[in-house]
Amino acid sequence: MLIFKNTYDLQQLNSEHPYNRIIREHLSRTGHLEGYLILIEKGDTYIDLPELKARLEDIPWEGVSKLAGFYHAVYLTNNEFALEFIIPDSDWLKPELKCSLEDCAV
């Protein structure tokens, strides 16, 4: 799990990372002043942040978009702070999480 709170956190990604371009573009558009962008990676099952402690499949998503090869899922902690998730649509994705995302996908 990689957490991006601002553009300085892009140092966590090397130029070869498959989601480098997507995360860079997203942060450049939003600046992420009121939330975090979280990249879920293989083996991630639980998020432990002050704003949210939960198994990924139990998060009550506000909205999910299924894009080319990944999900963009949003959880609002309050009216001003969002946790946005980039979740690869991969064979290692737990069936429960995939079902949860598909149920909310538009």
* Pairwise CA distance, residues 101 & 81, whole Å: 20
Q: How many domains does the chain have?
A: 1
Cα angle 65-29-98, degrees, rounded to a multiple of 5? 20
What pLDDT was estimated at residue 33?
Answer: 58
State how far the Cα of 71 lies from the Cα of 105, in Å rounded to an integer: 8
- pLDDT for the residue numbered 30: 66
Q: Which residues of the chain have pLDDT under 70?
A: 30-33
Q: Does residue 104 contact residue 63 with C-beta atoms inside 8 Å?
A: yes
pLDDT in the model for residue 9: 83
Global pTM value:
0.85
Domain hosting 55: range is: 2-104
Express each pLDDT in 61-89 by its tens digit: 999 999 888 999 999 988 778 899 999 99
